Amino acid sequence: DGGITQSPKYLFRKEGQNVTLSCEQNLNHDAMYWYRQDPGQGLRLIYYSQIVNDFQKGDIAEGYSVSREKKESFPLTVTSAQKNPTAFYLCASSSGQGSSANSGYTFGSGTRLTVV
């Protein structure tokens, strides 16, 4: 079955720690995205990548970093510079062929990060 796998499902971070959230897809999608979800605020774009070894900042990139060394993988690191990291993090992918072939995003099941 093709899809997106996010791990872990739950993650706890101590103050001052960096943590990395994993996102792997086997859909052969070119584009991948990270969103943060907070209650009442919808989905806010953190970073996105259209091709391997290239990525762009989204609307709330401060305190986060990403890499795209393989087409299948797009890990997100929440750094200690992110002052309010407690949230639900969602990874998504799309074919990225342009709107004529755009079939929307496929989302993972999310990682819930809590600062302790």
Q: Which residues bind other proteins (CB under 8 A)?
A: 4, 6, 31, 33, 35, 40-45, 48, 50, 58, 90, 92, 94, 96, 98-99, 102-110, 112
Task: Give whichever of 80 and 106 is closer to other proteins, judged by the CB atom.
Answer: 106
State the nearest-atom distance from the C-beta of 13 to other proteins, in Å.
19
State the nearest-atom distance from the C-beta of 80 to other proteins, in Å.
27
Task: Give whichever of 84 and 103 is closer to other proteins, judged by the CB atom.
Answer: 103
Q: Strands (DSSP E) along 14-75, which ranges?
A: 19-25, 31-37, 43-51, 54-57, 64-66
Nearest CA to 112 out of 21, 34, 46, 16 is that of 21
Q: In 10 A of CB 87, how many CB atoms?
A: 22
Task: Give whichever of 16 and 40 is closer to other proteins, judged by the CB atom.
Answer: 40
Compute the Cα dihedral for 18, 57, 69, 75 and give only its sign. Answer: positive
Q: Which residues pair with 23 in a beta bridge?
A: 6
Residue pair 21/89 in contact by the 8 Å Cβ criterion: yes
State the nearest-atom distance from the C-beta of 32 to other proteins, in Å.
10
Task: Give whichever of 10 and 14 is closer to other proteins, judged by the CB atom.
Answer: 10
State the nearest-atom distance from the C-beta of 100 to other proteins, in Å.
9
